Amino acid sequence: MREEDGMSQEMEKRELAERLDLIESMIAEGRQATCNWGWAFLLWGVAYYVAVAWSWSGWNAMAAWPVTMIVTGVACGVLAGRRRKGRPWTGITRAISSVWWVMGVCLLTVMLSLAYSGRLNSHVSVAIVGAMLAIPNGVSSVVLKWKMQFVCALVWLGVAEVGCFGSEMQGLIAFLAATFFCQIVFGAYAMIMESRRGQVRGEAHV
């Protein structure tokens, strides 16, 4: 009986170790997938700056955000389709990507509806955008155990709070700062990580 108990415990330990290894490999795949999307973070960050600059220029300002967001969304979809060819589409990759795509569709729909109804103002827009972007960043950071992205989620949540309680200028400054650090810097960081992985894989095949 003792030998059987010992064998049973050993098998349970092996199964637990295999499950932990599987979880760690899935987390690593998820982080790699996020790094593969670093260009998208950077693209949307630049798009936010373009939209802000356009709206402040005074020339057809009402069209700045809708046009910029729609054009960027289409460009992002086309580029994503091209980059996805030949790459594995794992369960965790699909889950994380789905969160981002659903957030994007919801954000675009709500913002366009508020703009069309004439109920959109700077406080509401900053609060909604900040809260919306905090959700996928937070989900990704928890699933992938990525502290840097968790910080991005907190920053965007802070932007939402500034939109609720701060002045119009404070909301704009908070939004521009968050865009720089959480979109452009984070996107560049992810692209650098992807490039380094590519170099390591290339050296391994030499």
Give per-residue pLDDT as tens, 95-123: 888 888 899 899 889 988 888 888 888 89
Q: Is the pLDDT of residue 17 over 80?
A: no
Model pLDDT, residue 114: 84
8 A C-beta contact, residue 177 and residue 132:
no
pLDDT band at 33 (very low <50, low <70, confident <90, very high): low
Q: Is the pLDDT of residue 204 over 50?
A: no
Model pLDDT, residue 133: 95
Q: Is the pLDDT of residue 4 over 80?
A: no
171-197 pLDDT, tens per residue? 999 999 999 999 999 999 888 887 776
DSSP assignment of 114-178 = HHHHT---HHHHHHHHHHHHHHHHHHHHHHHT-HHHHHHHHHHHHHHHHHHHS-HHHHHHHHHHH
How many Cβ atoms sit within 10 Å of the Cβ of residue 163? 25
> What does pTM read for this prediction?
0.80
Rounded Cα gap, residues 54 and 48, in angstroms: 10
pLDDT band at 15 (very low <50, low <70, confident <90, very high): low
Average predicted confidence (pLDDT) for the chain: 81
